[in-house]
Amino acid sequence: MGFYLFVFCALCVGATYVTSVTEIKIGTLLISEHHAPYTMERVGPALDVAFDEINSNILNESYKLVQVKVAYDNICNARYATGVASKLYYEEKIVALIGPACSYALDGVARLAGFWNIPIVTGLGDGGMFKNKTDYPTLTRFSYCQCRMRKVFGSVFKQFNWTDIVVIYDVNDGHTDILGNTLKEGLQKGGIFPFMIPYYGKENNNFSSILQEASVHARIIVLIVPGESLRQFLLAAFGLGYTTGDYVFFDVELFSFPGQYWGNHDWRRGDDKDTEAKTAFESLLRVSWQEPSGMGWMNFSCNVKDIALSKYNYSFGDEKVNFFVGSFHDAAVRLGLAINETLSTGGNLSDGYTITRLMWTKTLPGVTGPVIIDNNGDRDTDFAILDMDPIDGNFKVVANYWGANPGYNAVDHRSYHWPGRDTPPPNTPRCGFTGTNPVCKSPDTSEKFIWTIISVFVFIITCLIVGFFVYRRYKWEQDLTNMAWRVQYEDIRFKLLDGVSSRTSMARISDTFCADVVHESSVTLGIYKGRTVAVQKVDKEKIVLTRDVLLELKQVRDLHHENLSSFIGACIEPGHNYVLTEYCNKGSLQDVLGNDTLKLDMMFRLSMLRDIAMGMAFIHKSDLKIHGFLNSSNCLVDGKFVLKITEFGLPTFFRDKRYSQSKENMEMLLWVAPEVLRQAPFMQSTQKSDVYSFGIIMEEMILRSIPFDTYRALLDVQDIVDKVKDDCAPYFRPKVSESQAPKGYIELMKKCWSEIPDERPTYDGIAKQLKELQGDKNISLVEALVLRLEEYASNLENLVAERTTQLIAEKKKSETLLYQILPKPVADQLKQGKSVVPETYDCVTIYFSDIVGFTALSSESSPMEIVNFLNDLYVMFDSVVDYYDAYKVETIGDAYMVVSGLPIRNGEQHAVEISRMSLALLDGIKSFTIRHRPQDMLKLRIGIHSGPCASGVVGLKMPRYCLFGDTVNTTSRMESTGEALKIHISEKTKSILDRMGNFITEYRGSIAMKGKGEQTTYWLVGEKSF
């Protein structure tokens, strides 16, 4: 026993030795529950991801980095931060620090880290003082240094030869105060000496006076102010007339972040100043970071959001994972690499100075892009210069400043918008900043004469030029106010057609594809001035004809292209608001795709797609710029099979309907791009979102189905829209097999619905690729039209032949069914359009039977068992009846009725036919098995009687061939007074059988029958054999 105990202890010790892991503690110091973008709730999940990567992929299994997290409430409390850092160092024995982010808090902690000789990394710490690594020898910054800002601004100023600069900054805001002072010192080092105007934002809101002070020193003004103050400054500039082209304003918004941290830098507030603000912001250039992109960043963002919700109880909602969060992740990973390199080379973890230098002068990939740390421990970050697009009011990148290759780099095919001019404003106005430049003073008399002559000449030329443009403007204004487009309601004659959906209308006329269809639920057909038009109702009680509305109408009136539906006019009357457009009698693309009888080969489909691409390319080059709501229901097909796009422009008329997220309109959102869906409820389409819609139409075209059809069995429309809107990979898109279309088609479709809008092609590029897929054939419009019509005619010939074959087959089915319901002679009369006249017969033989004990059997069986039982029984009966000249009249429950001798008379043979049939049924019943009660024998009771009767067809719905007369009642009495497994016949039937011979009967005797008295009856026993 002692030996085994010894072995067990030895194994335990050995196991402990093998799995021993050395933990290396890293302190994490962040703020919590604050509006800043670098709280523990935001950054903590990123650090968790980083530490998992380090422990799984970087360190060997003998070591493990362990976080010791501390979160504190006050954002920049330097005293508290240094105290917590000391506690981490002395009590937790940490070997490195991550954080804090705020410069004021980082100052003291980084000095202590240098004294303790431990590495410290941060994802922010943008203060200029940290560049002095004598005071902060172990600090590495992975976000950016504000000192880089002077190089960014300097590169722009150098590009446009601007040397006189004013910097206005708010000293009450910590971020703007530090950046303002940093710019002052940094620009001076670059040879630019800005005039600095500090102001106290909490006390001074006289923005106009501050701008007036700046105007006497420069025309280039840098606004280092919070977001709310930025809009107020630019509105003040608008009021002073500083936004007409002589001034250029700059601001800094590293990235968009909701909340108060650096405020809302957008011009939109939804108030009555938005129009002025948008105009003022056209004079603004913005310095920002290059926003991280690519699949790596998107997957990282989704991972951070999931961990934040599950582990930190924090939901990002619509907030994006910001650059600071990624910088902290990259800082932790780089620190892990340095520690691993130190351990691998036998270095000392207590030598923070050496570990820190292992992170410097290196370029490694990170989630925020290439992480370039210079020889001073600061990251060379990429910046972008943005200018506002005056059309959509969004800022777009026009130039870049790359950290790895410093300098101004213009973006191809992007240009600045200079308000009121075509070139950037000069550094100094001609008359100087105060208008006192001598060149603007009055010249002497001789010079005055020369200048007078020149002025008169220039004046005349100017008048001619101005007159030309005034005339053009006058003609344009005349065209704008021309009301030729206006339609009176009484001039519209509506066609009496159901306003049904395109798919419903198509289903109703699927047998005649040539017929006209109504292509959308809100579209009705009408006649206007003798022309058939599409009339679309506008869901607005009243439309006011403002200048903006007139501009919208002019834009659509001026659009003329073979692949665009022509605008006819509009009716604007209270309660009667309609838009009239060209009518296309083949319906929408949905109708064409939904008609399974129409054969569409790949060339035909590519041709229609190319029509869409060319129409959309024309829209994108026009004043409209975008369609905004492209889908297969507003792509119409005319009588020549030319595809035309409709429902473009007129946002005042249709915007509420197009972007409504009501249950009725949810289906329409399946064509909307994910980046637009995420803007709900204020969705703003772009040219790239139009391309996404085209990609969805390509899926419809190749599958001939509704969008996302392969998911419809499991997901409703709302679920599909939510999944498309989700910005986490893998991205939700339609499922199309590689075998269902050519490779080039699939590749183009996937490019069109790419998650990154800039990766989507233009419509010109789409049209070119579709042409290549068609074989790059250069055919004229007429030739293309002839080819389409030839294919359509061929398809119609096949359709007619197919329909003829189907008609013949259906006719045969109908005849077969009719012959099963009615006797053939009667059915033939009905087919010939004749009425069936009731007819009397001198003598027929009628058969009645039922099942003895059926009521008891029913009570002991389930309904389905009874149904199955009767079906089996009557199938057997029917197969026997078919062998004889007899007609089954009906079955009621367990009762079965057959007649012979009508409607075709057969002399007295009817008694023989019914008798032989009865003997066969009785013989068959003895071998019949009840499925659910195989041990029970079925007991059939049969009654037969011969005599006169009448017949006729009764009813229109489910018509029945019925027999009338006393013979029917007597036969029923014969059956009910009979016995199980016997055939009870009347004396009349017996006499006929005796004349016919061969049948064996047995006298039963005289029995009492209800309503008949005493009747002599017999048993039919069999038939003699020869």
pLDDT value of position 111: 96
Q: CA 75, 79, 81: angle at the middle one, nearest 5?
A: 55
State the Cα–Cα distance between residues 648 and 658, nearest whole angstrom.
11
Looking at CATH, the fold of the domain delimited by 146-253+256-290+384-410 is given as Rossmann fold (3.40.50)
**DSSP-derived 3-state class of residue 56:** helix
State the Cα–Cα distance between residues 726 and 708, nearest whole angstrom.
16
The label of the residue with tokens 């109708």 reads 591
Class of domain 489-778: mainly alpha
> Residue 497 is inside which H or E element, if any?
none
Q: What pTM value is reported for the model?
A: 0.51
> Residue 888 is inside which H or E element, if any?
strand 887-892
User: pLDDT (tens digit, 9 = 90+) per residue, 816-854?
Assistant: 666 666 676 766 666 666 666 788 899 999 999 999 888
Nearest to 378 by CA among 331, 421, 445: 331
**DSSP-derived 3-state class of residue 760:** coil
State the Cα–Cα distance between residues 884 and 887, nearest whole angstrom.
9
State the Cα–Cα distance between residues 655 and 904, nearest whole angstrom.
73
Dig out the tokens for 1020 from the structure. Answer: 């039919």
State CA 329 to chain mean position distance. 32
> Residue 573 is inside which H or E element, if any?
strand 567-573
CB neighbour list of residue 101: distance below 8 Å, 6 or more residues apart:
30, 31, 36, 38, 43, 122, 123, 124, 125, 324, 328
State the Cα–Cα distance between residues 530 and 534, nearest whole angstrom.
13
**DSSP-derived 3-state class of residue 177:** helix
Dig out the tokens for 985 from the structure. Answer: 């016949």
Dig out the tokens for 515 from the structure. Answer: 């017929």
- Give the CATH number of domain 834-1023: 3.30.70.1230
Q: Domain-by-domain residue ranges, the chain?
A: 21-144+294-367, 146-253+256-290+384-410, 489-778, 834-1023
Q: CA 178, 183, 187: angle at the middle one, nearest 5?
A: 160
Dig out the tokens for 46 from the structure. Answer: 């990123």
User: pLDDT (tens digit, 9 = 90+) per residue, 994-1006?
Assistant: 888 788 999 988 8
Q: How many CA atoms lie within 13 A of 781 on its CB side?
A: 8
Asked whether 716 and 699 are in contact (CB, 8 A), the reply is no
pLDDT value of position 798: 67
Asked whether 377 and 140 are in contact (CB, 8 A), the reply is yes
**DSSP-derived 3-state class of residue 456:** helix
DSSP letter string, 523-542:
EEEEEETTEEEEEEE---S-
Helix/strand/coil percent split, the chain, to 5:
45, 20, 35
DSSP letter string, 485-502:
TB--GGGEEE-------H
Q: Which positions of the chain have pLDDT values less than 50?
A: 1-18, 498-521, 780-781
pLDDT value of position 1017: 92
Dig out the tokens for 516 from the structure. Answer: 């006209």
pLDDT value of position 511: 34
Which is it for strands 395-401 and 383-388: parallel, antiparallel or unpaired?
antiparallel
Radius of gyration of the chain (CA): 46
pLDDT value of position 383: 92
Backbone φ, ψ for residue 54 (5° rounding): -65, -50
The DSSP symbol for 203 reads T
Counted residue by residue, the chain has a size of 1026
**DSSP-derived 3-state class of residue 413:** coil
State the Cα–Cα distance between residues 57 and 353, nearest whole angstrom.
25
State the Cα–Cα distance between residues 45 and 39, nearest whole angstrom.
10
Dig out the tokens for 835 from the structure. Answer: 């009425």
State the Cα–Cα distance between residues 614 and 768, nearest whole angstrom.
10
State the Cα–Cα distance between residues 1017 and 754, nearest whole angstrom.
90
Dig out the tokens for 946 from the structure. Answer: 């011969």
State the Cα–Cα distance between residues 990 and 159, nearest whole angstrom.
124
The label of the residue with tokens 């061939």 reads 961
Dig out the tokens for 926 from the structure. Answer: 């003895």
Q: Which runs of consecutive H residues, i.e. helices, occur in 19-102?
A: 40-53, 78-91
CB neighbour list of residue 311: distance below 8 Å, 6 or more residues apart:
44, 45, 48
**DSSP-derived 3-state class of residue 272:** coil
Burial class (CB in 10 A: 0-12, 13-18, 19+), 19: exposed
Rounded to the nearest 10°, the torsion over CA 547, 553, 555, 558 is: -130
> Residue 417 is inside which H or E element, if any?
none
The label of the residue with tokens 């079906």 reads 871
> Residue 120 is inside which H or E element, if any?
strand 120-122
Nearest to 433 by CA among 222, 194, 218, 239: 218
DSSP letter string, 81-111:
HHHHHHHHHHHS--SEEE---SHHHHHHHHH
Residue 864: Cβ within 10 Å count:
9
Backbone φ, ψ for residue 984 (5° rounding): -95, 115
At the fourth CATH level, the homologous superfamily of domain 21-144+294-367 is: Response regulator (3.40.50.2300)
**DSSP-derived 3-state class of residue 419:** coil
Backbone φ, ψ for residue 80 (5° rounding): -70, -40
Nearest to 677 by CA among 318, 381, 420, 374: 318
Q: Is there a common fold for 21-144+294-367 and 146-253+256-290+384-410?
A: yes
State CA 819 to chain mean position distance. 54
